[in-house]
Each structure stands twice: as C-alpha cells, then as structure tokens.
Amino acid sequence: MNSGTQIRVSGLLVRKDLNGKNATIKSFDKTKNRYEVHISETLEKGWLKHECAEVIPNDTEPKSIPLKTRVSIRENGEQGVVENYDNDSKKYFVALDSGMNGQFTSDSLIVFRHI
C-alpha cells in the first residue's frame, strides 16, 4: 500500500476500540514490518500490520461475501462466520463466536477469510 491509501483498521486484539476506524497510510517501515497510519477520527498515529489494514475501495457497490467466510463486526470487533444471506433485507446472518447470532449489512462486516 502506498502513502495516502485510505484504509479501515480491522482485526486488532489489544486496541479493539480502533477496529472499524478509517485511517490513512503514511509510510511503511521495513524493519518493523508495519505501516505508519494516521487514524482519522481519533487523530492518533500508530503502526499496523498489513493484515490489520483493510483498503477502503473507491466504489460504492456493496461487496458480496461468500457463506462460511470468517468476519469481524465493524462496530465492536466481535467475530463470527457468515451462515446465510437474506435478499429482501440485504443482510448477512452471522453466527458469532460468543454463541449469539446477528444480521448485518456488508458494510458492517470486515472479511477475514473463507473457511
């Protein structure tokens, strides 16, 4: 990712409060193997691994998420697996690791990997 790339923070375990926040890539440090970022909402600067920086696409089309994809909820960082999709409500049904279930739009989910 280049300097100036707009990203969304995702997958942080210690600073879960930053998950879902938008940030801008400032630089990449090869020795740290981390991106220096400026978090827009909190005005904080920090260092992120590549897997914790989700590029914000330029298009506004909703993304299609395959079933059985591991996701994180943008609002609170909770994780789970996509189990179903409802065409009428345009929401994904997610089985959360906490044992609860939820319904979320695609822009509320951060995709980790297909399992």
Same domain, 90 and 49: no
Nearest Cα residue to 70 out of 16, 20, 115:
115
Q: pLDDT tier at 107 (50, 70, 90 boundaries)?
A: confident
Q: Is residue 72 within 8 Å of residue 56, measured between CB atoms? A: no
Query: pLDDT digit string (tens) for 21-73?
Result: 889 999 999 999 999 999 887 788 999 999 999 888 655 444 688 888 899 99
Same domain, 50 and 73: no
Q: Is residue 50 within 8 Å of residue 35, measured between CB atoms? A: yes
Instruction: Return the CATH number at 37.
Output: 2.30.30
Nearest Cα residue to 80 out of 104, 55, 44:
104
Query: pLDDT digit string (tens) for 87-97?
Result: 888 899 999 99
Predicted local confidence at residue 66, as pLDDT: 86
What DSSP assignment string belongs to 5-23?
-EEEE---SS-GGGTT-EE
Percent of all residues in the chain with a pLDDT value above 90, rounded to a whole number: 45
Phi, psi values for residue 67, rounded to 5°? -60, 155
Containing domain of residue 18, as a range? 6-55
